[in-house]
Amino acid sequence: MEKSYLQLLENNKAWVVQQKYNDPDFFKRLTLGQSPQYLWIGCSDSRVPASQITGTRPGEMFDHRNIANMVVHSDMSMLSVLSYAVEILKVKHIIVCGHYGCGGVLAAMSNKQYGLIDNWLRHIKDVYRYHHAELDAIADEEERGRRFVELNVIEQVHDLRKTSIVQNAWKNEQPLHIHGWVYDVKDGIIKDLGTTFTCAKDLHTVYQFD
Ligand code: CO
């Protein structure tokens, strides 16, 4: 039997020792509860570990990951995470972070069948349909893929701000900012797409369920 997984348990023991050495009250403090400021909605891709690439520590970021960092309105798992993060934990920032070279997004660009996942990719294909004029005009396939990744994040940010959870938070003047970012697997840099939405005061249109 392949036993490489045992290494993970060894790593865990070493990590515990290190944490206690750096900060003797680390675990005691976390036992008291969590009050993260951030909700991360990212891709499941193993190359994009949310806390590692943002330098956040346990207790600082609540996160939800799925294939291609999607905000799907009928996804109970995503909605439950969002509701808990916004209504109970009162996070101040929601970050939708995609990544260049995302297998889910690139698969949605092709006409191949992948099985069950095609049903999930359907949502991403819709994003292509909304932006096909811009995307089809990009001759280079890699460039087109990169832009598609960005547009997918922007669409998820819009879908997020249209959820009743976010709308209600803004209606109650709860401070809540939504950001769209893309991580580059090539160099580790995160790009801010500049699609930040803050609150109803700044953007009167956010109340509309457009
Ligand atoms: Co991905």
Tens-place pLDDT, residues 35-90: 999 999 999 999 999 999 999 999 999 999 999 999 999 999 999 999 999 999 99
Q: Is residue 16 included in any domain, yes or no? A: no
Which CATH number do you get for residue 118?
A: 3.40.1050.10
* Ligand 1 centroid distance, CA of 45 (Å): 5
Q: What is the DSSP string of the chain?
A: ---THHHHHHHHHHHHHHHHHH-TTHHHHHHT----SEEEEEE--TT--HHHHHTPPTTSEEEEEETT----TT-HHHHHHHHIIIIIS--SEEEEEEETT-HHHHHHHS----STTHHHHHHHHHHHHHTHHHHHT--SHHHHHHHHHHHHHHHHHHHHHTSHHHHHHHHTT---EEEEEEE-TTT-PEEE-S--B--TTT-GGGGS--
Q: Is residue 142 included in any domain, yes or no? A: yes
Active-site residue 43, yes or no? Answer: yes
Q: How far, CA to CA in Å, does 123 sit from each of 62, 93, 105, 199?
A: 24, 24, 10, 26
Q: Is residue 65 included in any domain, yes or no? A: yes
Q: Is residue 178 included in any domain, yes or no? A: yes
Q: Does the CA dihedral 88-35-193-70 come out positive or negative? A: negative
Q: Is residue 66 included in any domain, yes or no? A: yes
Q: What is the pLDDT of residue 47?
A: 97
Active-site residue 102, yes or no? Answer: yes
- Ligand 1 ion local residues (Cβ < 5 A): 43, 45, 102
* Ligand 1 centroid distance, CA of 51 (Å): 16
CA distance 180 to 132: 20
Q: Residue 197 — pLDDT band, cuts 50, 70, 90?
A: confident
Q: What is the pLDDT of residue 91?
A: 97
CA distance 128 to 10: 44
Q: Is residue 147 included in any domain, yes or no? A: yes
* Ligand 1 centroid distance, CA of 30 (Å): 30
**pTM to 2 decimal places:** 0.91
Lowest mean pLDDT among 83-87, 106-110, 153-157, 200-204: 200-204
Q: What is the pLDDT of residue 200?
A: 55
* Ligand 1 centroid distance, CA of 48 (Å): 8
Q: What is the pLDDT of residue 204?
A: 41
pLDDT per position as a tens digit, 167-179: 999 999 999 999 9
Q: Which of 64, 97, 102, 146 is catalytic?
A: 102
* Ligand 1 centroid distance, CA of 69 (Å): 7
Q: How much is the average pLDDT of 131-146? A: 97
Number of domains, the chain: 1
Burial class (CB in 10 A: 0-12, 13-18, 19+), 83: middle
Q: Which of 64, 99, 161, 179 is catalytic?
A: 99
Q: Is residue 25 included in any domain, yes or no? A: no
* Ligand 1 centroid distance, CA of 90 (Å): 27
The residue among 39, 70, 86 whose CA lies nearest residue 156 is: 70
Which residue range(s) make up the domain with 143? 34-48+56-197
Q: What is the pLDDT of residue 1?
A: 72
